[in-house]
Amino acid sequence: GENVEQHPSTLSVQEGDSAVIKCTYSDSASNYFPWYKQELGKRPQLIIDIRSNVGEKKDQRIAVTLNKTAKHFSLHITETQPEDSAVYFCAASKRNSNYQLIWGAGTKLIIKP
């Protein structure tokens, strides 16, 4: 069935370094790819999203890239800071449904001081 695979499950980086989280999706009809950040004890919040008609989108230190041919998309965080520590979820829109997303399992990002 349709699924989204997310890697790695845990990522530890030194403060100031870059972090990359990767997701692969199975449904070639998916056309929307959001990323949500969930800090410890808090609700998930949308941080960036990309639609299938663009290959890259940036917002300050965060960027997302999309490779439709390979069916994968990635979240890039540059100059990481302690407040970037969180669980990050990727998702992809589900075929024939404007209501549902298929979610990755999440990546716990740890920023080491």
Partner 1 sequence: DVKVTQSSRYLVKRTGEKVFLECVQDMDHENMFWYRQDPGLGLRLIYFSYDVKMKEKGDIPEGYSVSREKKERFSLILESASTNQTSMYLCASRIQGLNEKLFFGSGTQLSVL
Kindly tell me which of 38 and 78 has the beta carbon lying closer to partner 1.
Answer: 38
Kindly tell me which of 32 and 78 has the beta carbon lying closer to partner 1.
Answer: 32
Residues that bind partner 1 (CB under 8 A): 6, 9, 31-32, 34, 36, 42-46, 49, 51, 89, 91, 93, 98-101, 103-106
Kindly tell me which of 78 and 108 has the beta carbon lying closer to partner 1.
Answer: 108
Q: Is omega for the bond preceding 8 within 30 degrees of 0, making it cis?
A: yes
8-state DSSP, 84:
G
In the complex, least distance from residue 15 CB atom to partner 1, rounded to whole angstroms: 25
Contact assessment for residue 66 and residue 13, using Cβ atoms and an 8 Å cutoff: no
Strands 107-112 and 10-14: parallel
